[in-house]
Structure 1
Amino acid sequence: MSKQQSQSLGKDQKLAPFDYTVSIIGGKWKMLSTQRSELEKNGIVNRVEYPQIPPKVEYSLTPKGKTLMPILEQKCKWGVHNQEKCKK
C-alpha cells in the first residue's frame, strides 16, 4: 500500500503495523511475489512444486531466510510504536 493510499483510509480503517511500516519506508511488500525467483536464487526461499491438478506450489523460508525474522519483527514493532505518532 502506498503512502497516498494509507492516507486515504478512513478514520475507522487502520493499516496493520507491518504494512504501515513498509508504507513509511517506501518498501513494496507486494513486490515479494515478483521477486520470488530472486529470493529462491539467493537461498532465502524454498519452492516445492507438486505435480497435481490443480497445480500446487508451497513456499517456505530456508534457514538463511529465517535469519531475517528478527529484522521483520523489529520493522513490525516500529510500525506499532510509530503509527499513531505519525498520524498527528
Structure 2
Amino acid sequence: MQSETVKTCLPSGVDLPNTGFGYTLSLIGGKYKILILYWLYENKVIRFNELKRNIDTISFKTLSVMLKELEADDLVIREEFPQIPPKVEYSLSERGRSLIPVVDMMCQWGESNR
C-alpha cells in the first residue's frame, strides 16, 4: 500500500509563528477574540456595553484591551460620535468579515464532534 503525503499548513521543522496558521492564531487567539468577532458579525454594529452584556464573563478592561487589539489588527472598526454622553460603535472591517468563514467552520466542526 502506498502512503499518501498530506499537504499541511504546519510542515514539520517550521517555526509556528512564521506560518499562516501561526499568524492567524496571533490575530484571533485567546479566550475572547472569536466571541467578539462573532457578536460583531451577528449585530453588524454594536456598542461597548451591549457587547459586554453579550459576553457576560469578560471584564470591562479585558474587553477594552481585546477591542483595541482587534482594531490595531484591522479586524474591527471603532467609530466615535462626538456627543454627550459619548457614543462609540464597533463593527467588523472587511478583513474581519473575511474571518467569518473560519469561525463558521469551527462551529460546524464543533456541532459534528461534540
> TM bucket by the smaller chain?
0.5 to 0.7
TM-score by length of 2: 0.43
**Equivalent residues of 2:32, 2:66 under 8 A apart:** no
Ranges in structure 1 where 5+ consecutive residues have no aligned partner: 1-25, 84-88
Ranges in structure 2 where 5+ consecutive residues have no aligned partner: 1-28, 37-62
Backbone CA RMSD of aligned residues: 2.3
- Partner of residue 29 from structure 1, selected from 24, 28, 32: 32
Amino acid at match of 1:36: L
Question: Which SS does the other structure have where 1:54 is aligned?
Answer: coil
Q: Is 1:80 aligned to 2:111, yes or no? A: yes
TM-score by length of 1: 0.54
Amino acid at match of 2:32: W
Number of equivalenced pairs: 58
Using CA pairs below 8 Å that are at least 6 residues apart, which structure has the higher relative contact order? 1
Q: Deviations over 1:39-74 (max 9, x none)?
A: 111111100011222221111111111110100111
Runs (4+) off by over 4 Å: none
Percent of aligned pairs sharing the same letter: 48
Question: Which SS does the other structure have where 1:35 is aligned?
Answer: helix
